[in-house]
Amino acid sequence: MKVRVTGDPAAFKALAFPYLQRDPVLNSVLISNIQGRVDSLLYDPAPPVFVSVHRDGEVVGVACCTALRGVMLGELDEEFLPLVLAAVVESGAAVKFVEGVPEVTLAFAEQYADQLGRQLVEDRLTRLHRLVDFSPLEAEGHARLATEADLAATVRMIGGFGDAIGGRITVEEEERWACDRIRLRRLWVWEYDGRVVSMAGHNGDVFGAARIGSVYTPPEDRGNGYAGALTAALTRHLLDEGTQPCLFTDLANPTSNKLYARIGYRKVVDFVRYAVS
């Protein structure tokens, strides 16, 4: 087996996407992080590291390492762990997090921490869902695409979302994030009584799947069903476009897990993230 390492997202896309497209829902995190950098929608304070494992000329494993997200393993086969670990260590990347399916992620994180003398703590448990049977949810108000007039409101919300998940970016990056997604028609809001009260976005359709994310309602507007109704409306929009919707939930938040189950989302696999310090 051979390992290839590159910092070029376009070159890595050409290598990795034929492999990742076999399951675009399961591989949605890797796909969106590669495509987002090809499209200049994601920005890194340090160069990314893209790793592919090859057997007999074919890609059999993929991982990414970025300054903000850390190492993304997806469902990497544990057989390839030593090769990917060696490539990441040799790259000199400063790894803050390791995430993927539980077994291989724990093994990678432990070995990485041991080699570099770092501390390890389980940071977050999430669950990937795909839509199986759609059921709408209702709330007062209506869903619509975000426009430039919503920029201030959505920038505040992406800041609140970042605080909630422990990954806040700079104000300039928040503005750029919102501007880019408004321009691409990938950011939606729920409006009630003339106010924007909730926000949700989605990635672009790649291989027939799109992941909903950045769902956020400010504390003062919670408890009214806005986020659920907006997620349901965005799910319906993606279905109408012929796209398979998927999303992640935080397993520490039983309310959101029950909410998305009501819309029709069902478990695909659990992911774990470890913080490295």
Residue ranges of the domains in the chain? 2-118, 131-269
pLDDT of residue 13: 98
Other C-beta atoms lying within 10 Å of the C-beta of residue 211: 24
pLDDT of 82 reads 96
Q: What is the pLDDT of residue 164?
A: 83
Task: Give the per-residue pLDDT at 43.
Answer: 80
Q: Could you give the angle at which helices 102-116 and 81-91 cross, rounded to 10 degrees? A: 40
Q: Report in angstroms the alpha-carbon separations of 127 from 161, 207, 251.
A: 18, 21, 6
The pLDDT score that the predictor gives to residue 183 is: 96
Specify the pLDDT at position 115: 94
Give the pLDDT score at 45: 86
Between 3.20.20.70, 3.40.630.30, 3.40.190.100, 3.30.1490.20, what CATH number should domain 131-269 receive? 3.40.630.30
pLDDT digits (tens, 9 = 90+) for 147-183: 999 999 999 999 999 888 777 778 888 999 999 999 9
Which residues of the chain are under the pLDDT cut of 70?
Answer: none
Residues 228-252 have pLDDT tens digits of 999 999 999 999 999 999 999 999 9
pLDDT score for 170: 82
Amino acid 162: pLDDT: 86
List b or e across 108-144, with b for residues whose CB sees 16 or more CB atoms inside 10 angstroms: bbebbbeeeeeebeebbebbbbbbeeeeebebebebe
Cα separations (Å) of 105 from 79, 114, 174, 193, 249?
12, 14, 29, 46, 18
Indicate yes or no: pTM above 0.85. yes
Query: What is the C-alpha separation between 56 and 1, in angstroms, rounded?
Result: 7
